[in-house]
Structure 1
Amino acid sequence: MARQAPNDLLRALLDEAGITGSALAKAVNTLAAAEGMELHYTRTSVAKWLTGSRPAPPVAHLVAEVLTRRLGRTVPVEATGLIPQTGGQPGGQAVPKGATSPDAMLASLASQDADPQRNPALHRAPYTVAASPPAWDDVHDPKPLRATESPRRRAGRREVTALRTMTATYARLLEAHGGAQARTALATYLAHDAGAWLALNTTEATHRLLLTETAELTCLLARMSADSTHHGLAQRYFHLSAGMAAEAGNRSLYAIVLRATSAHAHQLGRRRTGMDQAAYDATPDSASPATRAYLLVQLALGLAHTGEPHQARRYLAQAEEHHARATEENRPFADYPRAGLDFQRAQVLLALDGPEPAITALRASLLHRPTQAHRSRALTHIQLAQLHLYTGHMEEASAHVHPCLEHASYLHSPLVRQHLLSLHTQLSAHRRHDPARRALREIRATLNTQFVPPKSRT
């Protein structure tokens, strides 16, 4: 048996970063926990990697991410010496030969995602701070688009309408039942139906519409993946969605996807203020008031967290002004509901002024939120309970637990489960109080009965 070659690449990176094997193992375990994985690597594990052994996916990507943050520069996963040089995508999945356009890469990624034999590695892929969506000018080509010709069929209004209907359907599913409900079905649809339609012969205008609608569905799949806590996979779908929006020449949608990508990073505690600004800067003059409000309130949130309160308040006020002029279109990616603006306003006010004004804004959000929006209502009640706990109002905090669990009972949402576990931990510090004890019992009962994941089929 051939002897393994020492991993000099990894050793050089550890020396450059000034980090020990024990510290690297601890950092990898911590990063994995933030991504919903449970790893138990030790100094001995790192010593084995240095002698040439390779960990299972996606550990190499976690190592690259730890070193990227430590060194302040991008460390490609290949530079760790922990994967074969032909790999490269999170989860050990390589982009197939010829899959260079965003829609071709989407078809490949969604096919892997829909395959139960191949998707576990994708689902464990970590979120990568160093990765960014494609720049508009890197994708958008002002030359006329040409779809691949097919002698049998042409794509037209029927396919565009079908994609638009699917977007509305899955947007409702996400809100009513959570991201883990039918997420794989959407991946399958994008891999096969949508991918096939993009390859049909059609007019340039129709092809751009098909790209736009597919980009919207891909952004929705990214949100469903994030709600399923597949954060690295969600990041890749967001980036592909931005690429397709640029390929379609749709600047408004491109800006919307950048904003959604940034919001995902904010939720994970990896704030991307530069992306908030890039989304706003990408907005065309023709953007609707609803789109402008959606972009401005996220920009306000980023500035609130980076110590620019005056700018944050200015952009928040502008978001309110644009939203007041918006007209309801009753279509995903065209509307920005008042409940969404109030929820985001609460996040800005929490960063600027503390919990009390945030609580008022969250209550306003609930007043405007449809009853069947179980996911958003559950998350809003959880945050209200947490803020009331923070301000020392135990009775008010406990009062939000029951309605939260009522909505959670409809959901297949690992993200909601994570937030409930966090609330349970916070309430545990007050278990001597009767309201807290009752709330803890209710949460435990719900976690034990409502969030049991289905067994994988083999």
Structure 2
Amino acid sequence: MPSPRHPNKPLRSLLAEARWTQGSLARAVNIVAAEVGLELDYDRTAVAHWLSGTQPHPPVPELVAEALTRRLERPVTASVAGFGGAADPAVPARAQPYRPGELLKACGGAPEGQLRPPGAPDSGTGTGTGTETALMRSAVRFYSACFNAHGGGTARSALAAYLADDVLPRLRAPQPEPEHRSLLVEASRLSFLLARMYEDSGAQGLAQRHFLTALSLADASGDRVARAVVLRGLSAQGLALGHHRASLRAAEAAAEAARGEAGPAGTFLLAQLAVAQAACGLRREALGSLARAERAMAADGPERSPAGPFDTYSRAALEYQSAETLGKAGDTAGAHAAMNRSLAHRPAEDHRGLALSYARRAEMLVGAGHVEEACASWRAFLDHYPHLTSGAATAAVTRSRTLLIPFRHVPAAAALLNRLSPVAAGGKRH
């Protein structure tokens, strides 16, 4: 006989404390699920079943707990929410929820005295010259190029295996102090790239976990710029998920960690700060940060040979951030011009950057009523899409169809919708 169900009193109590209806909790769970690539469509009836004692299948208890954690602004576990039992080992790891609280915690800083100022002697940003450091730098260049060319679903498993099987043993082996610090920086960069790959694939919880691993490695290396770079990545992820204030806090912490840094690193950090400020309605501050980013790009930085992906920041990337900043600040014309400049600077092999930039430009154009120009931009997006295994690109396909349907009577839009249908039917490209 099945064991009798008992009402879930802890969940009912938490629901009352949150001042949520059953429908409100259902919608919040759907949002958390979407952040980890799960498509759930719960409504109040599902919550009613949980309250009556029904145990949802994993990972739903963790998603419920995370939704309540965000609402109550204190930690809530699945057990506290009345969902007992051990975690199901068959549940895919990518269902790990994203936790905004971890983003704020990361902004707290490394232990006092652990980090050296930017450019200090023995910094991990390029002083190591040993064979193992050189090998890891080559890996950073390789996996970065794979990500830019083909998206987060390409070489992700290989990078995860490389970190576990090759990088970790090297970090544990005895090394001279300068070499060990350089290895830690390169390991942080590889973890950062793995986080970007998971983020691009829609596995936001796993992406956050690898960003935090990258942050720990950067802190252990003692390099402030390495720490700032990871905080910037955490900020961008949080902003994309709608956590604007937490994202701004991380962007501010990143800029503070590498204060005075010019050249590529300064540009990289200030560009994200500008976008986060604009998203929070701080228009004047955002435009000021954008101007500082431009000045940092114009400044002469130390030359590195050969330059790696973390030693450079492209004009195309800065113009993309400029477009996002200006758009959020209300300067539509300026945003369009910046996005056009960004596309003009993208190299042909940057399929991911080109695809997402064309898609973003199309969304901006259709929002301004320029339907035929938007369709031309979406056609360019589709030219690059076959090269990608990218959840972000798949999401752009979905958005394009939604935005085009109201204009299906326009011949260009109708033709594009016909072209998009088989692409969408092909399923997710993670």
Query: What TM-score does the superposition give when structure 2 sets the normalisation length?
Result: 0.88
CA distance in 2, matches of 1:300, 1:42: 38
Does the aligned pair in 2 maintain the 1:64–1:80 contact within 8 Å? Answer: yes
Q: Aligned pair in 2 of structure 1 residues 400, 42: CA closer, same or farther (>3 Å)?
A: closer
CA 1:298–1:156: 2 relative to 1, 3 Å: closer
Q: Percent identity?
A: 36
Matched with 1:29 is 30
Match of residue 168, structure 2, among 192, 195, 198: 195
Does the aligned pair in 2 maintain the 1:273–1:299 contact within 8 Å?
Answer: yes
Aligned counterparts, 1:26-175, within 5 A: 26-50=27-51, 52-84=53-85, 92=87, 121-132=92-103, 134=106, 135-138=108-111, 141=114, 157-175=130-148
Letter in 2 for 1:270: H
Cα displacement string for residues 249-308 of structure 1 (whole angstroms, at most 9, x for unaligned residues): 1110100110111011111222221111111111155x3421111111111112212222
* TM-fit CA distance, 1:176: 0.5
How far apart are the structure 2 equivalents of 1:319 and 1:22? 44
Q: Distance in 1 between matches of 2:61 and 2:226?
A: 33
Deviation digits for residues 138-164 of structure 1 (CA, Å, limit 9, x no counterpart): 497579xxxxxxxxxxx9922211111
Question: Which of 281, 302, 317 matches 2:291?
Answer: 317
Give yes or no for contact 1:251–1:284 (8 Å, CA) kept in 2. Answer: no
Letter in 2 for 1:186: L
Taking a change above 3 Å as real, the CA distance of residues 139 and 177 of structure 1, as seen in their structure-2 partners, is farther
Aligned-partner Cα distance in 2 for 1:42–1:434:
38
Q: Distance in 2 between matches of 1:429 and 1:410?
A: 29
1:444 aligns with 2:421: yes
- Counterpart mapping for 1:190-269 below 5 A: 190-269=163-242
Any stretches of 5+ residues in structure 1 without a counterpart?
94-116, 144-154
Deviates more, 1:127-136 or 1:303-312: 127-136
Q: Which residue of 2 aligns with 1:108?
A: none
1:329-367 C-alpha deviation (Å, 9 max, x unpaired): 531111111110000000001011332211100110111
In 2, the alpha carbon distance for the partners of 1:121 and 1:229 equals 13
Distance 2:67 2:168 in 1: 35
Q: CA deviation at 1:187?
A: 0.8
2:386 is the alignment partner of 1:405 = no
Provide the rounded CA distance (Å) in 1 between the counterparts of 2:102 and 2:378. Answer: 37
1:434 corresponds in structure 2 to 411
State the distance in 2 between where 1:334 and 1:347 align. Answer: 23
Indicate whether 1:176 and 2:149 are aligned: yes
Whole-Å separation in 2 of the counterparts to 1:282 and 1:31 = 30
Shift in CA distance, 397/336, structure 1 to aligned 2, threshold 3 Å: same
Whole-angstrom CA distance in 2 between matches of 1:304 and 1:224: 26
Letter in 2 for 1:57: P
Letter in 2 for 1:163: M
- CA deviation map 1:349-402 (0-9, x unaligned): 101133221110011011111101000100110111111111111221111122
2:159 alignment counterpart: 186
- Give the letter aligned to residue 293 of structure 2: A
Tell me which moved more, 410-419 or 39-48.
39-48
Distance 1:238 1:142, change over 3 A: closer
Distance 2:73 2:311 in 1: 38
Q: 257-266 or 65-74: which moved more?
A: 65-74
1: distance between equivalents of 2:35 and 2:93?
16
1:276 partner letter: A
Contact 2:275–2:286 (Cα < 8 Å) also in 1: yes
For residue 409 of structure 1, report the CA deviation from its aligned partner: 1.2
Q: Is the 8 A contact 1:296 1:315 kept in 2?
A: yes
- The structure 2 residue matched to 1:336, chosen from 272, 297, 313, is 313
**AA aligned opposite 1:318:** R
| Alignment check: 8 A CA contact 1:127 1:231 kept | yes
In structure 2, the residue matched to 1:396 is: 373
For 1:403, give the aligned amino acid. Answer: A
State the match for 2:256 in structure 1.
281
The 10-residue stretch of structure 1 (302-311 or 344-353) with the greater mean CA deviation from structure 2: 302-311
Q: Over aligned residue pairs, what C-alpha RMSD do you find?
A: 2.6
Look up the match of 1:360.
337
Contact 2:10-2:80 at 8 Å conserved across structures: yes
Partner SS for 1:37? coil
Identify if the C-alpha distance between structure 1 residues 267 and 23 changes in structure 2 by more than 3 Å, giving closer, same or farther: closer
In structure 2, the partner of 1:305 is 279
Determine if contact 1:140/1:246 at 8 Å carries over to the other structure: no
Q: Take 1:256 and 1:18, find their aligned partners in 2: how far apart are those partners?
A: 38
Over 3 Å counting, the alpha-carbon distance change for 1:233 and 1:83 in structure 2 is farther
Q: Which residue of structure 2 aligns with residue 19 of structure 1?
A: 20
CA contact under 8 A between 1:409 and 1:446: conserved in structure 2?
no
Task: Go from structure 1 to structure 2 and tell me whether the alpha carbon gap of 1:39 and 1:356 turns closer, same or farther (over 3 Å shift).
Answer: same
Distance 1:45 1:307, change over 3 A: closer
Q: In structure 2, do the counterparts of structure 1 residues 387 and 22 end up closer, same or farther at CA, with 3 Å as the change threshold? A: closer
Deviation, structure 1 residue 326? 4.3
Quick one: distance in 2 between partners of 1:83 and 1:223?
A: 33
TM-score, normalization: structure 1? 0.83
Distance 1:142-1:278 versus aligned 2 partners, 3 A rule: closer
CA displacement at 1:131 relative to structure 2: 1.7
Partner amino acid for 1:416? Answer: A
- State whether residues 65 and 129 of structure 1, in contact with CA within 8 Å, keep that contact through their aligned partners in structure 2: no
Deviations along 1:209-240, one digit per CA (max 9) or x if unpaired, are 11111110000000000111111110111111
